[in-house]
Amino acid sequence: DAKTTQPPSMDCAEGRAANLPCNHSTISGNEYVYWYRQIHSQGPQYIIHGLKNNETNEMASLIITEDRKSSTLILPHATLRDTAVYYCIVRVAQSSGDKLTFGTGTRLAVRP
């Protein structure tokens, strides 16, 4: 799986958009970009994933650059409950037995 680089920490104000970047310059053509988050002392939570098109769901939006070497996770209106460690992971398309390799992630602090 391709290596990812994320800033160790970020903060944003409650109600504002949180934009979390991720670099994955060695991503292969068949690798997807996945985002998970982990709230303190809980298991990780799946957020979103994409291949090359931008994706949006009820939790977030994922913007992938045209060359696919970087992406941004956007939480449109951050709340205090969004304070967590966010992990960007790139991996081959889902199949039974695929494992996730977690990096150090970005610790997002949402301030009141």
Positions touching other proteins (CB under 8 A) are 36, 38, 41-46, 49, 87, 94-105
Which residue number, 28 or 45, has a Cβ lying nearer to other proteins? 45
Q: Ramachandran region of residue 72, left (φ > 0), alpha (ψ -120 to 50) or beta? A: beta
Task: State the minimum distance, in angstroms, from the CB of residue 8 to other proteins.
Answer: 11
Which residue number, 97 or 112, has a Cβ lying nearer to other proteins? 97
Least Cα distance to 33 among 66, 63, 77 occurs for: 63
Q: Write the CA distances from 69 to 20, 51, 80, integer angstroms.
A: 15, 11, 30
Task: State the minimum distance, in angstroms, from the CB of residue 16 to other proteins.
Answer: 26
Q: Ramachandran region of residue 24, left (φ > 0), alpha (ψ -120 to 50) or beta? A: beta
Task: State the minimum distance, in angstroms, from the CB of residue 15 to other proteins.
Answer: 26
Which residue number, 1 or 14, has a Cβ lying nearer to other proteins? 1
Task: State the minimum distance, in angstroms, from the CB of residue 42 to other proteins.
Answer: 6
